[in-house]
Amino acid sequence: MSAIVSGFPSPNVTWSKDNKLWDNTFKKVGGNVVNEMRLFQLNRSELFATFHCKAQNTKLSPPVTRTIVLDLYLYPVSVRITTKSTALSAGLPIEMACESAGSRPNARITWWLNGTQLSSHSETVHDNVTSSTLRLLPKLQHHRSPLLCRADNPKLFNSHLEDVRLLNITCG
């Protein structure tokens, strides 16, 4: 992030983070004063960090301040099929549940059975947890097939996490 200001006399330009001095290195470029703040290796704790840029050239007038609140895209940190693992009866509909936490924006959850994406599910979001409920009609040919719940952040590349359950299907 760069702050470019001008004034007479030349102002001091500083950055603070959460009201603590972060960067007070600035340089003169042409008739302007520039302070470039670079952020590297951001992590989850930086979400909503508040940065203030302050330009001040005299104690006789108040400083000019601009504020930036940092928003981040975050990878999901967990995904889990939460439905108890039990034998399923062929031909009897069942609902399977899956939850993912940590993604920003909210995770997108998809369900896969034996490599085929399923569409009969719904999603809800509460706080930082995305929940999905799949309506499944088990068939005998699904026995020992992998049922996969996948959570990903659609804004981030290669962000998916998966939980897999091998289905145990019995005759109804």
pLDDT digits (tens, 9 = 90+) for 18-51: 889 988 888 888 888 888 888 888 899 999 999 9
Residue 37 structure tokens: 């703040």
- The percentage of the chain sitting over the pLDDT mark of 70, rounded to a whole number, equals 99
Backbone φ and ψ of 42, nearest 5°: -70, 150
Residue 122, strand partner residues: 133
Query: Which residues contact residue 167 at a Cβ distance below 8 angstroms, ignoring those fewer than 6 apart?
Result: 88, 113, 138, 142, 143, 144, 145, 146, 147
Cβ of 55: how many Cβ atoms within 10 Å? 21
- For residue 172, the model assigns a pLDDT of 65
pLDDT at 75 over 80: yes
Check: pTM over 0.85? Answer yes or no. Answer: no
Query: pLDDT digits over 106-141, tens only?
Result: 999 999 999 999 999 999 999 899 999 999 999 999
Could you tell me which residue, 162 or 26, shows the higher pLDDT? 162
Average pLDDT estimate for 72-92: 95
